[in-house]
Structure 1
Amino acid sequence: MNPKQGVILYGPPASGKDTVTAALNELNSKYAQFARLKVGTGKAAGYRMGTAKQLHELEAAGDVVYANARYGNTYVIDRPGVDAAFAAGVPVVHLGQVDGIRALVNGYPADWSLVLLWCPREMSEQRSRERGDSDTAARLEAWGATREDLDTHPGTAWDLTVDTMAAAPQDAARLIDQLLAQRAGAAPT
């Protein structure tokens, strides 16, 4: 039996993680964005909003695979959430920290495909402004932190790297689907 397959999309804000995930889901509905638990305020779409009490309970049970703080919120990858995502299909986890990738790969056994999505800072800024982000400045700080993270962790073995200025979302989705099919020894969808 093949192990559970999951996708980790890594990249700075506005590098195309949401857009590529939507294209993956259009290609095959088995792909779905993993909704991290978000403790805080702001945008709720794409997250499971939670409370500090829920986070504490997950921590006490040892069910926090990875948590990070950004934009004044805490974002959590939790074991019960990942279990549910795998039960529903192929989770697509969005991350912007190499430590998060390592925590997930080492803390939740599965066949994780690591995909680096990248675009220049100027494109991240343009995309952020075009989609109406009210915190573009904070997102650009996160872009810089992501660049620094890559520079300080040069040994990360990406299964696929996609320049989202050069590749259309549908093309990126097909490449990711082909990658998973190859790893599973099956034909792509």
Structure 2
Amino acid sequence: MKQGILLYGPPASGKDTITAALCELNHIYGAFERLKIGSGRTHGYRMGSIDQLTELEKRGDVVYSNDRYGNTYLVDRPGLALAMQDGSIPILHLGQVAGLEAVVDGFPASWTSVLLWCSRESTEVRSKERGDSDTEARLAAWDATARDIEATPAFTWDLRLDTDSVSPAEAAQEIHLLIRRGI
């Protein structure tokens, strides 16, 4: 059975750092690079065009898309299929419960959902420390994430981690142990 990890949380909750720790822990893990249509940060994304988005939509290959920070971000079927080749386990970063639900419902695999959380203050500090030029937008996204969780109490998390009190290495180890139990 194909497997994947869904990391959900507000900006600066540790998605990138924990993904890196998981990848160091075991080569089976890999960061899923969502397709990004727009500008700004390119690291961690496959950059695409409006024409590519139109073609994916026409074929029904968009599992989930969202607009944030003036860009469109996609989880696409071809990208997921490629990321799961040879038993690899992709790690998807999502900031909306609707995205988690769309991936779980729209792409057949055993998905492990992990809620990463940190305080709003931590998001602000971490955003500034990493040099984000849009910290205010990231704080607004933190607020939206908090509302999203409150609005979807029925969503079941396989694991919840508070990244204000758990190190990235500890978080990676907990996620890895959960995945290993499921194999």
Shared topology, TM-score over 0.5?
Answer: yes
Q: 2:27 corresponds to which letter in structure 1?
A: S
CA deviation map 1:130-186 (0-9, x unaligned): 0000000000000000000000001111000000011110110010000011111xx
User: Alignment partner of 2:84: what SS?
Assistant: helix
Q: Which residue of 1 aligns with 2:138?
A: 139
CA deviation map 1:9-52 (0-9, x unaligned): 00000000000000000001111110000000000000000000
TM-superposed deviation, 1:63? 0.1
Q: 1:159 corresponds to which letter in structure 2?
A: D
Residue 31 (str. 1) matches residue 58 (str. 2): no
Q: 2:21 corresponds to which letter in structure 1?
A: A
- Aligned equivalents of 1:73 and 1:29: distance in 2? 31
TM alignment of 1:155-170, pairs within 5 A:
155-170=154-169
In the alignment, structure 1 segments of 5+ residues that lack a partner are 185-189
User: Alignment partner of 2:132: what SS?
Assistant: coil
- Aligned equivalents of 1:180 and 1:141: distance in 2? 32
- Aligned equivalents of 1:62 and 1:85: distance in 2? 18
TM alignment of 1:54-93, pairs within 5 A:
54-87=52-85, 89-93=88-92
- Aligned equivalents of 1:182 and 1:54: distance in 2? 38
- Aligned equivalents of 1:159 and 1:11: distance in 2? 14
State percent identity of aligned pairs: 57
Q: Aligned pairs, how many?
A: 182
User: Alignment partner of 1:57: what SS?
Assistant: helix
- Aligned equivalents of 2:3 and 2:175: distance in 1? 12
TM-superposed deviation, 1:71? 0.1
Q: CA RMSD in A?
A: 0.6
- Aligned equivalents of 2:85 and 2:69: distance in 1? 30
- Aligned equivalents of 1:29 and 1:45: distance in 2? 20
TM alignment of 1:1-189, pairs within 5 A:
3-87=1-85, 89-184=88-183
Q: 1:169 corresponds to which letter in structure 2?
A: P
- Aligned equivalents of 2:170 and 2:99: distance in 1? 26
TM-superposed deviation, 1:120? 0.5
- Aligned equivalents of 2:27 and 2:14: distance in 1? 19
Segments ≥4 residues shifted beyond 4 Å: none
User: Alignment partner of 1:12: what SS?
Assistant: coil
User: Alignment partner of 1:137: what SS?
Assistant: helix
Q: With structure 1 as the length reference, what TM-score do the two structures score?
A: 0.95
In the alignment, structure 2 segments of 5+ residues that lack a partner are none
